[in-house]
Amino acid sequence: MRNIAAYIEELAPLYWAESWDNVGLQVGDPGAAVQRVLVALELTDPVLEEAESLGCDMVVVHHPPIFRPLKALRFDNRPARRLLRLIRGGIALYAAHTNLDQAAGMTNDTLAAAAGLTEFEVLKQAGEERYVKLVVFVPRGHEDAVRDALAGAGAGHIGNYSHCTFQAPGTGTFLPLEGTNPFIGQQGRLERVEELRLETIVPESAAAQAVQAMIAAHPYEEVAYDLYPLANPGKVRGHGRIGRLAQPVSLAQLAERLKQALRTPAVRVVGDPERMVTTVAVGAGAGADLIRPAASRGADVLVTGDVKYHEAQDALDLGLALVDVGHYNSEAGAIGSLAAYLRERLAADGHPVEVVESQAGRDPFRFV
Ligand SMILES: [Zn+2]
């Protein structure tokens, strides 16, 4: 369970979640072994029955079942009964919510792809991952091992390139004092060694593990390295996405595309259906708070869920069209994305854990 939580938190760190949110492991023993995981949007009675009948020992959901203050655990209260059934069945429960919305390839990215966007960026920034420069001095011949260790720990990744470093030769000096066991040289004699200054960048959050991996791969007893803060812009994370379609489409065509992609018989549209749209913003879940950011960044349309009457009026006043695909439909696609991510990570580390996408989840809204 600890490994699965770590994979999810590497993708969507817990501190990314909004302050009102409640994410992470909600029920269960973090040290317990897991064989089968069910990934679902919501813990409903049918989803719980599915987990029980499939013999799952962990359920990963998007919406946290323990959210409002939990004041009693009674069998005559449905949400509480579900928690009791989880505990009795030895099934753990994990929630990844507003942190998952910001993660690459998850709710918002999946919705952006459904809208036909291939390139997009964050609509409303929530944070920025700064980089630090890591410089290490390595004796010649050991630079590749150190570079590999750094790359494996998340350093030196720029865009789609890994192992990005710069190296320059120079001379290192040291004098081994009493009690040392030097890799090169002798106690009490000044040594001059041909070394390489190897430099790279690493996200702040990965700096500690990169330093640890580098020291493990370095031949010296005392490794000389520096970490410099950088003023370069970091990697932005946040709410919603915005991008331009390759071809402008009418609002009605965009709505049709979303119906197909999200497999829903209907969506609600605000604005003239014949209006052409090119710049598309998306906000998975209840995204009405993204109406203003979308309009101010020049979006023609915002694709989201749970839009209320006055919010629709606001959008019209701002000249922003809306497609309300429904809260469920705007997020359901990410179940497959999260399950695929977990399968890949578990397989890469050789964990024989099965990850199942829930089939029992349903949009509570029906069209009649
Ligand atoms: Zn949601």
Q: What confidence score (pLDDT) does residue 306 get?
A: 97
Residue 209 has pLDDT above 80, yes or no: yes
Residue 4 makes CB contacts below 8 A (sequence gap 6+) with 34, 37, 58, 60, 94, 342, 346, 353
**327 C-alpha to ligand 1 centroid (Å):** 6
Sign of CA dihedral 361, 260, 117, 155: positive
To which residue do tokens 């990850």 refer?
A: 355
Q: d(Cα 179, Cα 31) in Å, to the nearest integer?
A: 41
To which residue do tokens 């501190």 refer?
A: 15
Q: d(Cα 115, Cα 110) in Å, to the nearest integer?
A: 9
Q: What confidence score (pLDDT) does residue 180 get?
A: 82
**43 C-alpha to ligand 1 centroid (Å):** 12
Could you give the C-alpha distances from 306 to 23, 165, 270, in angstroms and in order?
Answer: 22, 47, 13
The predicted model gives 335-340 an average pLDDT of: 96
Residue 162 tokens read as: 């890994």
The predicted model gives 166-174 an average pLDDT of: 94
Q: What confidence score (pLDDT) does residue 157 get?
A: 85
Per the annotation, binding residues for a divalent metal cation are 62-63, 101, 327, 331
Residue 19 tokens read as: 């302050």
Could you give the C-alpha distances from 293 to 129, 156, 201, 214, in angstroms and in order?
Answer: 21, 33, 32, 42
Residue 254 has pLDDT above 90, yes or no: yes
Question: Radius of gyration over alpha carbons of the chain, in Å?
Answer: 25
The predicted model gives 275-302 an average pLDDT of: 97
pLDDT in tens, 95-152: 999 999 999 999 999 999 999 999 999 999 998 888 999 999 999 999 999 999 999 8
| 3-class SS of residue 150 | helix
Q: Give the phi and the psi of residue 92 in degrees, each rounded to 5.
A: -85, 160
**283 C-alpha to ligand 1 centroid (Å):** 10
Q: What confidence score (pLDDT) does residue 268 get?
A: 97
**346 C-alpha to ligand 1 centroid (Å):** 26
Q: What confidence score (pLDDT) does residue 68 get?
A: 84
Q: What confidence score (pLDDT) does residue 129 get?
A: 84
pLDDT greater at residue 217 or residue 71: 217
Q: What confidence score (pLDDT) does residue 110 get?
A: 97
Q: Going from the N-terminus, what domains does the chain have, and what CATH number goes with each?
A: 2-102+330-357 (3.40.1390.30), 107-126+239-325 (3.40.1390.30), 131-229 (3.30.70.120)
**169 C-alpha to ligand 1 centroid (Å):** 53
Give the helix ranges, DSSP H, for 107-206: 107-114, 143-152
Sort 88 into a burial class: Cβ within 10 Å, 0-12 / 13-18 / 19+.
exposed
**80 C-alpha to ligand 1 centroid (Å):** 20
**64 C-alpha to ligand 1 centroid (Å):** 10
The predicted model gives 354-363 an average pLDDT of: 95
Q: d(Cα 15, Cα 98) in Å, to the nearest integer?
A: 10
Could you give the C-alpha distances from 93 to 34, 65, 341, in angstroms and in order?
Answer: 12, 9, 18
Sign of CA dihedral 309, 312, 316, 321: negative
**108 C-alpha to ligand 1 centroid (Å):** 11
Q: What confidence score (pLDDT) does residue 234 get?
A: 85
Residue 292 makes CB contacts below 8 A (sequence gap 6+) with 314, 318
**306 C-alpha to ligand 1 centroid (Å):** 10
Residue 159 has pLDDT above 90, yes or no: no
pLDDT in tens, 36-80: 999 999 999 999 999 999 999 999 999 999 998 888 888 899 999
Ligand 1 (ion): residues with CB under 5 Å are 285
Per the annotation, binding residues are 62-63, 101, 327, 331
**364 C-alpha to ligand 1 centroid (Å):** 13
**304 C-alpha to ligand 1 centroid (Å):** 10
Residue 201 has pLDDT above 80, yes or no: yes
**288 C-alpha to ligand 1 centroid (Å):** 12
Q: What confidence score (pLDDT) does residue 217 get?
A: 96
Q: What confidence score (pLDDT) does residue 181 get?
A: 82
